[in-house]
Amino acid sequence: METNRQIFIQGCRHGLPIGLGYFAVAFSLGIAARDYGFSAAQGFIASLLTYASAGQYMGFALYATNTTLAELVLLMFIINARYILMGFALNQRMPEGTPLSTRLLVGSCITDEIFGITIARPGIPTPYYTFGALITAVPLWALGTALGISMGNILPARIVSALSVALFGMFIAVIIPPSKKDKAVGAAVLISFAASYAAVRAPWISSLSQGNRTIILTVVISSVFALLFPRKTEAVSEGGAPDAD
């Protein structure tokens, strides 16, 4: 039987490839953060405490447009709401008797990738594996952000432009696969693009801040599609009966 120390070390090893991927994307994020006026230290701390990928980029952009703190917090909550569901799913599988404080800490460690490797690991998920992956991956995300801010002016313009593409690639990687699998998701993405463009020019809504416009569009579009195309809450097995969990 594996000890907690062995599980923690395994999490560190599995988190390293994730961290290297984070580093490349975070470097591009740092370049954008520099354009928004953030210092390397500010970027490092923000990435070390947030590690929210697309949500963090949106947060930098909104902060630079003088968005209010309430708008920023609400929008980040909406963008990252999926992590709440991931936290519920992961904590339901934690060993019985796991303290509430540990469960809350695990919930704060979740990213898409860390959740993926934790939930895919054979056996009952253990907090030590998640903690190990986080300790390896997140510092590389924060370091990449800081270096992107500090080295953006040193690197040749072509390299900076090439690295910046990675950030857009991250957004594409988020929206394209589910859009191809589900026509409703694809329609929602296209409508979001069109609505965002129209909102900048519409008489009343264009006078609102960018943060408020984004919040309104996110809530309205997601609510409409949730009502028109509800998801089934029970997964059906091959035999036709709902899964137990």
User: Which tens digit of pLDDT belongs to each residue from 93-132?
Assistant: 888 888 999 899 998 888 888 888 888 888 888 899 999 9
What local confidence, expressed as pLDDT, does residue 174 receive?
Answer: 60
Same domain? 71 vs 103: yes
What local confidence, expressed as pLDDT, does residue 88 receive?
Answer: 85
Distance CA(10)–CA(197), nearest Å, equals 46
Identify the sign of the CA torsion 57, 222, 138, 19.
negative
Contact between residue 142 and residue 120 where contact means Cβ atoms under 8 Å apart: no
Same domain? 190 vs 143: no
Task: Please check whether residue 190 lies inside any domain of the structure.
Answer: yes
Same domain? 86 vs 202: no
Of 147, 169, 191, the last residue of a domain is: 169
pTM of the model: 0.65
Higher pLDDT, 139 or 218: 139
Per-residue DSSP letter, 123? S
Mean pLDDT of 195-220: 81
Of 121, 141, 169, the last residue of a domain is: 169
Beta-carbon contacts of residue 84 (< 8 Å; ≥ 6 apart): none
Same domain? 113 vs 226: no
Task: Please check whether residue 214 lies inside any domain of the structure.
Answer: yes
Task: Please check whether residue 80 lies inside any domain of the structure.
Answer: yes
> What is the percent of the chain where pLDDT is above 70?
85
Domain extent at residue 226? 182-230
Task: Please check whether residue 206 lies inside any domain of the structure.
Answer: yes
DSSP string, 162-178: HHHHHHHHHHHHHHHHH
Residue 84 has pLDDT above 70, yes or no: yes
Identify the sign of the CA torsion 81, 30, 72, 65.
negative
Residue 52 has pLDDT above 90, yes or no: no
Task: Please check whether residue 176 lies inside any domain of the structure.
Answer: no
Residue 46 has pLDDT above 50, yes or no: yes
Same domain? 157 vs 204: no
Same domain? 30 vs 128: yes
Same domain? 52 vs 160: yes
Same domain? 23 vs 122: yes
Same domain? 188 vs 165: no
Higher pLDDT, 164 or 66: 66
Task: Please check whether residue 156 lies inside any domain of the structure.
Answer: yes
Question: Per-residue confidence at 235, pLDDT binned at 50, 70, 90?
Answer: very low
Distance CA(147)–CA(81), nearest Å, equals 29
Task: Please check whether residue 242 lies inside any domain of the structure.
Answer: no
Same domain? 74 vs 29: yes
Contact between residue 142 and residue 47 where contact means Cβ atoms under 8 Å apart: yes
Same domain? 200 vs 221: yes
Mean per-residue pLDDT of the chain: 81
Same domain? 186 vs 83: no
Number of domains forming the structure of the chain: 2
Residue 212 has pLDDT above 60, yes or no: yes
What local confidence, expressed as pLDDT, does residue 31 receive?
Answer: 84
pLDDT in tens, 133-154: 999 999 999 999 999 898 876 7
